[in-house]
Structure 1
């Protein structure tokens, strides 16, 4: 329950196939309706940079009201939205079923979809969104790609900034020559037959990031689940489309949803649960896909069978109990609750999971990292992204924790950069981990 309504918030399907969705006059009318309500409320002033930009735009206008603001000046407000969903999920009192019917992130998405249809989307972000193509190319030259993208490589990063607009100081994820799929094929794990959860079966949906950029998350997940008696298969039909969603390419997202859900639905029919390794991808499968391709039976089936990885382990702990053998970590954990984990409306499952490790103190950080996928690495956005994430970085530093974890690997690396700016002396000693990697360490399953 929230202020403004006694009912739980709901989201409407995105009518991206309706020609009126792309009507610029209708879009402007809706932008003005929503912006005027936001101007009178201002509860979201500290969530991201969209709202300060909006409020400054109105306050500095001739009348101090929206009527003297040009529609041409709306674009910076839209560009600053990272689709984190926190305004919809945690702040806005006017989301449906309230009669005002506000969904700020999906309105920003509509604006970008109109830009995409007009051919006004930007070339570099559009190419970055092609994660499968990029991953399949980069894995063959991973050492060279990682050398070129390393922040310490002033030559190549300077060239990337001047030609591609990617900020020279922004951390970029590495690539691996052996993907998670490759590693799963080469390493068959023995499932613990004495574990309380023996008999469960789960497909690990690798995600583009888990497959190409950080296979360690998937390897830790496989080992922890095998210790707990869960039979697993690693499957990756393709990207969930979150990077494409950020660019307003709804047709491409729908195509990915059709393809991936068709394959994963077959595993569900064979009795497998579906686990997404990255919170953004879990959000897409659970909530965004059903709104983009409503009525698709495979998508509906998948949305009900999908778990975030931390959510799945907590579910085992509550229903069957986790296998014994975990040892305490040698220090506390600062646990960042990623926005796309919070937007799944499942509770703080990453923190719950870490508290299952014996004698472990967990300091929760519940603020946005500011990264926003490919948005936060761009030259025009990086400093803003660091600014938005500074409160979370500062809170994590103040906790004095020995470990830093987040369900979102990109958010984690970005927050490490924020911590580096606040405490450069301790930067080299910090490493960002997914909570499942700390559980694997507690079980003694890491190398």
Structure 2
């Protein structure tokens, strides 16, 4: 039996429609098998809070081994997993095709899927995952919603903490009265037909975050692509289902996959590339959906046609070359390498893209922000999330760059909060940018 695998990692489709997938005894047996391997290895001790919780649980047991640990102690380990995939992608020597066949994040997902099927998702957690409904409702009263959710509001945030278990100091994204899709439909952008990439076409999959919370990401992408001759169409058939994936609602994720894949098929047939604006959503389209619906031809077709926005710009640069006109970003960029961008196994495309800007130094920070989607805003997790993100914040501060960026908008905002806590000698930016926004700025937009 060899230590570690010499082969490229592979991921098996999720057998979520098999009743055994939800069998409590079978799940417990697999948890014990995997946890025992993790206990003997411990390479992941510094990734997230799941592994310290697991190792403390074992070390504090009567025997110091897994045999004296009660299964009731496993839930906090599962709850701490943010499905960032970094253990699978960067640390674990026992992932498939190794004979140990260890996929820690998808085992945590299986546990949560069983909880979801048993009706154990709280009412509040279910409401937090309804991003489309929440975006529409909050967008209709955006000024009021943003006032109520602002971190400086000591009237409403303590109440929100009590009712929704959202930490009063956790940054929450703002809402906009006009979605990115509506803005795109109302404003035509002139495409440079003389640019090297003229003739390429792309559908910008808006994602719920860019659509409702940060239209500037989509607007920057449209400007950059138009400058490079790319014709764009903005579509948003619905959320990718990542919020539901976090809670194990695999049937709802599958429904989202079928809906979006069916809506975008005609564009693929017409020669469009599909470009997601947020890495978590790109990860869903390219990797998670095909593992949940491995026999769905439309899902497979979409996966092959999909790009992350930074990946797409780098592809243009390599195939056709970028349009002229980029100006230096004074002071350089400290770029956080978002976990769901890393999990796409494509390399640091945002860094590659920003290095195309002349005379602009880019420092890559390859540590987790600690945010983990809706996990990091919860009252019981927020301080832990900041602790996990502290090394990344320190590295950003050490880089002393004028611009801070992350492909994950939630991670970027969380890291700004972590920077603010490092001390008075650290100057935190007002906000972190998405890399495509910085590229647009370098073009003069």
TM category (shorter chain) comes to: over 0.9
Match of 2:184 in 1: 184
The 5 A counterparts of 1:267-286 are 267-286=267-286
Using a 3 Å threshold, how does the CA distance of structure 1 residues 241 and 424 change in structure 2: closer, same or farther? farther
Match of 2:380 in 1: 380
The 5 A counterparts of 1:16-415 are 16-415=16-415
Contact 1:332 1:360 survives alignment (8 Å): yes
Partners in 2 of 1:205 and 1:375 — Cα distance? 24
Cα distance, 1:433 vs structure 2: 0.2
Compute the RMSD of aligned alpha carbons. Answer: 1.1
Contact 1:403 1:431 survives alignment (8 Å): no
Q: Match of 1:120, SS?
A: coil
Deviations 1:170-205 (A, max 9, x none): 000000001001110111001001100000000000
Deviations 1:63-101 (A, max 9, x none): 000000000000000000000000000100000000000
Cα distance, 1:212 vs structure 2: 0.2
Q: Match of 2:360, SS?
A: coil
Partners in 1 of 2:425 and 2:146 — Cα distance? 25
Using a 3 Å threshold, how does the CA distance of structure 1 residues 428 and 366 change in structure 2: closer, same or farther? closer
Cα distance, 1:385 vs structure 2: 0.4
Deviations 1:268-307 (A, max 9, x none): 0111000000000000000000000111111000101100
Partners in 2 of 1:348 and 1:208 — Cα distance? 23
Partners in 2 of 1:175 and 1:116 — Cα distance? 29
Partners in 2 of 1:80 and 1:429 — Cα distance? 29
Cα distance, 1:430 vs structure 2: 3.4
Cα distance, 1:425 vs structure 2: 6.5
Using a 3 Å threshold, how does the CA distance of structure 1 residues 217 and 69 change in structure 2: closer, same or farther? same
Contact 2:204 2:277 survives alignment (8 Å): yes
Instruction: Answer yes or no: is 1:439 the counterpart of 2:439.
Output: yes
Using a 3 Å threshold, how does the CA distance of structure 1 residues 430 and 3 change in structure 2: closer, same or farther? farther
State the TM-score, normalized to the length of structure 2: 0.99
Partners in 2 of 1:326 and 1:416 — Cα distance? 27
Aligned residues: 444
Partners in 1 of 2:6 and 2:304 — Cα distance? 25
Deviations 1:388-431 (A, max 9, x none): 00000010001000000001000000000000001357556432
Partners in 2 of 1:282 and 1:3 — Cα distance? 33
The 5 A counterparts of 1:414-429 are 414-424=414-424, 429=429
Deviations 1:130-171 (A, max 9, x none): 100111111100000000000000110010011111000000
Partners in 2 of 1:423 and 1:295 — Cα distance? 52
Partners in 2 of 1:265 and 1:427 — Cα distance? 46
- Structure 1: which 5+ runs fail to align? none
Partners in 1 of 2:430 and 2:147 — Cα distance? 21
Partners in 2 of 1:427 and 1:110 — Cα distance? 42
State the TM-score, normalized to the length of structure 1: 0.98
Partners in 2 of 1:48 and 1:57 — Cα distance? 15
Cα distance, 1:103 vs structure 2: 0.3
- Structure 2: which 5+ runs fail to align? none
Deviations 1:312-364 (A, max 9, x none): 00000011000000111111100000000000000000111110000000011
Q: Match of 1:303, SS?
A: helix
